[in-house]
Structure 1
Amino acid sequence: MKISTYFDPALRQRMNDDMNVRKLSAKTQIGYIRAINRLCEYLHHSPTTITREELRQFQLYLVNDGATGATINGIIAGLRFLYQITLDNTHVVSKLHTIPIARNLPVVLNLDEAKRFLAAAVHPKYNAAFSVAYGAGLRVSEVVSLKVSDVDSERMALRVEQGKGGRDRYAKLSPALLEHLRNWWCFANKHGQMYREGWLFPGLDPINHMSARQLSRICVETAKQAGIDKKISMHTLRHYVPFLTMSCRATISWFYWQTSKVVTT
């Protein structure tokens, strides 16, 4: 991201400090900085001297430029942080309004599609990673951040550190999913792709975990290879822990762990 010359380094540092004090995630911080940077490029002057009318015109510009409601709301969140927290100027953003976002039903993978998808993920690492997202309901950022030590085979649980909202939690681990992870662990150690106490899904350099973007890209490619026409993402996978039929004997039979009731057909 190219930083605007109108985004004063001292102001940017102060805003970064305020975000760090509040322990905002790296993704949120990048989004807020990008929002202010976009404002500076529009204004062609420092954001510290902005007027309410200029801010109104900026939001109108975003709408006319074709920005989605989610994009506009993300920018507004960054603007509110800058003016309410960093600059202590609540008045200037008091008239900003977020845009209601329509809540559409998520894409559903039926059982046959799920089997085809996992079968298309031939590499043990990706098969195991997709199985974790699908079988334990983890977000893509949580999947790639798992460490070998997070797999608790005694309590049959996955420890998720610093998940959404910075909270730690446990996800249930089924015997079938544990077997997938053990197969991947054995494969990775045999081929020198993993440190024994390192990341569960390392990148090319085992010191670092694979990126969420990389896993998301491979997810889309795998769906195409499986011949699935639906728009599939990592978020699609985690939505359906309790959705599938529990009575089948498919390769994804570990789902019975994830619901309090067994659904039969």
Structure 2
Amino acid sequence: MNKSPYYPSQDPVLKMRQEMKLRNFSPKIIKSYSYYITNILQFANKGASGVTSQNIRDYLETLVNINSSASTVNCAYSALKFYFEKILRRKFFINLPRAKKEKKLPVVLSKEEVKKIIDAVNNPKHKCILQLLYGCGLRISEVIKIKMEDVDCGRKMLYVKKGKGNKDRCTILPEKLVKVMEQQKTLKNPKDYLFTGYDRKSPLSTMSVNKIVKQAAAKAEIGKNVSAHSLRHSFATHLLENGVSIRYIQELLGHARLETTQIYTKVSNANFKNITNPLDNLNL
């Protein structure tokens, strides 16, 4: 048999990875899908061609029974659906329902809490990461991929390349960061990452950014479950409270659907700040 790498692999997982690369899936999704395909084959204890719809149903039910989140179950569902339908051309997902997602409200920080978190950090690099997460509404995967060529100081814009769904977008660059970015541009080449790891070439890891955020929130004594995404949530909510159109916020965040952005209307105080609480009307 011709073993050229250009021929599709007979290994089920490798074959799927090859197909996903051709379709320009992100490395994170490829890794996730590969995990679930390996998992289902071990669970069913048979080859890919022998897996039945009942095996898949039992596997997904097992994930639910071990208290996996709806997002985890649905990710597994998407991985299995892609593999068995797109790679093996088998159609048995019609009667398999997706898990209903929990409708949790995002953790939003007040402006004072955001300031405390940023002020709690002395390291200039770490402070800049926090300011970009909040000031540009970035996902953690986006902040670590910023290259110097993506920063337009003159127009005060940041170009987010290959964000979620492999989509490019523009977002606003805070005035407070323009001088910092201009200085970095004199020290780095256009293709260099803004934030690098120990080798000063590779991008900083998501784990490192998460650690920076968690440590800053702990030092600032914020009594909320703060993550990097909390700063993105806060960016969107504060814009909404300042009267910015939700359509503009959708574009800045890179949401494909307006419904995704509308979650911030549920945590914004814009609709409630003019309401007097009935308890406050009592002469107590």
State the identity %: 28
- Residue 16 (structure 2) aligns with: 15
Please tell me the residue identity of whatever aligns with 1:73: N
- Residue 234 (structure 1) aligns with: 228
Distance 2:235 2:13 in 1: 41
Please tell me the residue identity of whatever aligns with 1:25: S
Distance 2:177 2:240 in 1: 15
SS at match of 2:97: coil
Could you give the per-residue CA deviations for residues 42-79 of structure 1, whole angstroms, max 9, x where no partner exists?
11111221122222222222222222211111101100
2:196 to 193, 196, 202: 202
- Residue 52 (structure 2) aligns with: 51
- Residue 3 (structure 1) aligns with: none
Distance 2:25 2:82 in 1: 11
Distance 1:31 1:247 in 2: 36
Distance 2:237 2:102 in 1: 22
Q: 1:247 to 1:88 in 2, by over 3 A?
A: closer
Distance 1:20 1:230 in 2: 39
SS at match of 1:103: coil
- Residue 164 (structure 2) aligns with: 164
Q: 1:202 to 1:36 in 2, by over 3 A?
A: same
Q: 1:115 to 1:58 in 2, by over 3 A?
A: same
Confirm or deny: 8 A CA contact 1:153 1:178 kept in the other structure.
yes
Confirm or deny: 8 A CA contact 2:107 2:225 kept in the other structure.
yes
Q: 1:84 to 1:247 in 2, by over 3 A?
A: closer
Q: 1:226 to 1:96 in 2, by over 3 A?
A: same
Unaligned runs of 5+ in 2: 1-8, 243-251, 253-269, 275-284
Q: What pairs with 1:1-265 in structure 2 (closer than 5 Å)? A: 10-90=11-91, 92-182=92-182, 185=184, 189=187, 195-197=188-190, 198-244=192-238
Confirm or deny: 8 A CA contact 1:135 1:177 kept in the other structure.
no
SS at match of 2:170: strand
Distance 2:141 2:209 in 1: 9
Distance 1:50 1:221 in 2: 45
Confirm or deny: 8 A CA contact 1:56 1:96 kept in the other structure.
yes
Give 1:174 shift: 2.5
Give 1:220 shift: 1.0
SS at match of 1:243: helix
SS at match of 1:239: helix
Moved more, 101-110 or 225-234: 101-110
Give the aligned length.
236
Give 1:153 shift: 1.1
Confirm or deny: 8 A CA contact 2:70 2:102 kept in the other structure.
no
Q: 1:245 to 1:15 in 2, by over 3 A?
A: closer
Please tell me the residue identity of whatever aligns with 1:66: N
Give 1:208 shift: 0.6
Q: 1:160 to 1:247 in 2, by over 3 A?
A: closer
Give 1:163 shift: 1.1
Q: 1:67 to 1:242 in 2, by over 3 A?
A: closer
- Residue 262 (structure 2) aligns with: none
Moved more, 231-240 or 10-19: 10-19
Distance 1:69 1:247 in 2: 30
Confirm or deny: 8 A CA contact 1:18 1:85 kept in the other structure.
no
SS at match of 2:11: helix
Q: TM-score, normalization: structure 2?
A: 0.76
Give 1:134 shift: 0.2
Q: TM-score, normalization: structure 1?
A: 0.81
Confirm or deny: 8 A CA contact 1:79 1:93 kept in the other structure.
no
Confirm or deny: 8 A CA contact 1:128 1:181 kept in the other structure.
no
